[in-house]
Amino acid sequence: MVSKTVELLKKELPLEQESVELCDDVVTGLVLVDIINGFCTVGAGNLAPLEPNQQISGMIDESAKLARVFCEKKWPIMAFLDSHRPDQHEHPYPSHCVAGSDESNLVPDLQWIEKEANVTIRRKDCYDGYIGSIERDGSNVFVDWVNANKIKVLLVVGICTDICVLDFVCSTLSAKNRGFLTPLEDVVVYSRGCATFDFPDHIARNIKDSIAHPQELMHHVGLYMAKGRGAKIARKVSVGSMHEAAGC
């Protein structure tokens, strides 16, 4: 039933994707959204997958490949890590990614980036990395990062496509349109570098305040909504002469 619904959705809401080549003469920043144990590692927490998941594993692989290329080229990377106080709740989700726990740490395949000089780590306590970058004095760590590095293109990957990734992309595009991100020209969402979770209806209906979240359908919706806000959706990403960077 779900597969037929996804087929119908993709027919009614077709999503045009493109191949994107990132060039040395255009400053590009990579944004990693919540690629942490609490959302990606089997059994790591209340919102982690219960069993290996192909879409999530593929997202990690593609994101790690891109991170390697960006670090080799010394291009800027910002990684958002969901990190909450123990008493902080995000309805309708259960407690997750508590600050100081392994849930809120990068997955093993990406932990190495923490030692890289071109990487900025930002722990956030809300869905949206843009909002989560606001400091008490009103400054914004993400905005400062974009402006300081004169970033013209943002490449966005991570989880969940339709929640934290989409919220961040929408806020970033709104800020760009308001002139807060002066150098920024394009926001690119790499579809194979994104993933979301799977929560079937037959399980959700038996849990209070829960709603179904079919993975493939919501992944498509997240990408479609991001494109509708002005983002480019890439099915393949290549970097200069490194045509096997991702998606090939």
Among 36-50, 174-188, 205-219, top mean pLDDT goes to 174-188
Q: Which residue has the tokens 């494109």?
A: 227
Q: Which residue has the tokens 């150098």?
A: 183
Residues in the chain: 248
User: What pLDDT, in 10s, does the model give residues 190-199?
Assistant: 999 999 998 7
User: What pLDDT, in 10s, does the model give residues 10-29?
Assistant: 899 999 999 999 999 999 99
**What CA–CA distance (Å, rounded) separates 212 from 204?**
5
User: What pLDDT, in 10s, does the model give residues 61-81?
Assistant: 999 999 999 999 999 999 999
More confident residue, 9 or 137: 137
Q: What is the mean pLDDT of residues 147-169?
A: 98
More confident residue, 205 or 164: 164
Cα dihedral 158, 73, 114, 29 in deg (nearest 10): -40
More confident residue, 90 or 133: 133
**What CA–CA distance (Å, rounded) separates 142 from 125?**
14
- And the tokens for 106? 């990068």
Q: What is the mean pLDDT of residues 160-167?
A: 97
Distances (CA, A) of 212 to 6, 207, 215: 14, 10, 9
Q: Could you tell me what percent of the chain has a pLDDT over 70? A: 90
Mean pLDDT score of the chain: 90
Query: What is residue 87's three-state secondary structure?
Result: coil
Give the confidence band of 201 by pLDDT, cuts at 50, 70, 90: low
The answer to pTM > 0.85 is yes
